Amino acid sequence: MVNKTKLTIYGMFLFIGVIIFFSVYSTLERHDIVLEITPYYNLIYDDNPNVYIQMRLTNYSSGTFMYGLRFDLYRKENAGWVRVSQKENVAIIDLGLVLYPYSYEVFGSIDLNRMFGNIAYGHYRISKSITSRNSGRIHLVHDEFKVGF
């Protein structure tokens, strides 16, 4: 009787340990790929800044990822994010670029005004999808930045 109780208790501890391990692992996995946005401005007009960004995509994992140059821009309005429409006459190269393990890529001087029209002062988010070369799983990475405050 005592042995069954001990086995049951050990089994419960093992089960809880496995749950804790996987929840910590999945939390760490979310930070394996990091997108960092650095905005800079050419303030020609007070109400319409020329907004440029530099994107840095960093792979802190041992996996290899495929991605293109396309990204989505969102503006914070009230309590949520609203997608900013891209201009119709803008093309983005979305080739299969490779992000190797423990490496990074930097894309500089991206003119948001040219791609999306006039960028007003506010809080923005850039969201980008990348695909795991091993599993085919699509990951979304994003970063936020402010224009003008």
For the chain, give the mean pLDDT: 78
H/E element holding 4?
A: helix 2-29
Specify whether the backbone of 39 is left (phi greater than 0), alpha (psi in -120 to 50) or beta.
Answer: beta
Q: With 80 as the cut, is the pLDDT of residue 20 above it?
A: no
Can you give the residue ranges of every domain in the chain? 1-30, 32-147
**The pair of three-digit structure tokens given for residue 46, joined into one six-digit string:** 């007070």
pLDDT tens digit sequence for 76-105: 999 899 999 999 888 887 778 999 999 999
pLDDT tens digit sequence for 97-137: 999 999 999 987 788 988 999 888 899 999 999 999 888 89
Architecture, CATH, for domain 32-147: Sandwich (2.60)
